[in-house]
Structure formats: C-alpha cells, structure tokens
Amino acid sequence: MMVVSLSRVDVLSERLIEFVARVASKISYDQRKLVAISGTSIHKIVVNVVNRVADWVSEDRGGLLWCRLCNRGSFTKRGLYLHLVRVHNFEIKNIVEDELRRELRTSTN
C-alpha cells in the first residue's frame, strides 16, 4: 500500500470536490480522470470516500434533490451540483479530507 503524505491528502481532497458534487447530484463522471487524480494504488479507497461523502451531502426526496448541509432544495441535478461546488466547497473539502485520512489510516494498519 502506498503511503500518502499529509500534503497529498490536502491536494487530493481539493480535487475530489467536483467528483463528490457530481455523485451527489447524480451526474456521471469520467472514471479514468478519477484514477489519474488518485492513482491506482488508492483508487478504491478514493471511490469509497467520494460515494460516502456524496451520500452524506445530498438527499433524494421523492425524485427531488436536496442539500443536507444546509437543508435547501429542491434542486435539479445541475442546480445541486452548482450549489455544492459554489456554496459548500470548503465544507466538502474538509469532510473528504477527514474521511480520506481515516480510511488511509485504517487501511495501513
């Protein structure tokens, strides 16, 4: 297993905001781009973190998308994506960073 430095986790979490917002908004993304960003050694961990955070930040209420961070909605797919990226950029980065650190710590033990 590859050792990921603290600075790399910070940079990686910044780059994963877009993917979290896309998954939360039910918008597809390019898997190859995610592999290129994360690297093959921790790709599975990154996918799990992105999916877990995306499930946490959005909610589907009868086909309508809502933001769980501020309880706003209802949004279209694109509307929720833009809301998450513009309004909750910093919160998502922090959540992803915490989850990544926790996952990487448990996977190396």
Query: Hey, which residues does 67 pair with through a beta bridge?
Result: 58
DSSP assignment letter at 68: T
Q: For residue 78, how many C-alpha atoms fall within 13 Å in the half-sphere facing its CB?
A: 0
Q: Are 64 and 36 in contact (CB under 8 A)?
A: no
Tell me phi and psi for residue 68, to 5 degrees: -80, -15
Q: What is the pLDDT along the chain (109 residues), one digit of tens a residue?
A: 445 565 688 889 999 999 999 999 999 999 999 999 998 889 999 999 999 999 999 999 988 999 999 999 899 999 999 999 999 999 999 999 999 999 888 876 5
Q: Give the CA distances from residue 36 to residues 23, 25, 71, in Å, rounded to whole numbers and listed in that order.
A: 18, 22, 33
What number of other Cβ atoms are within 10 A of residue 2's Cβ? 10
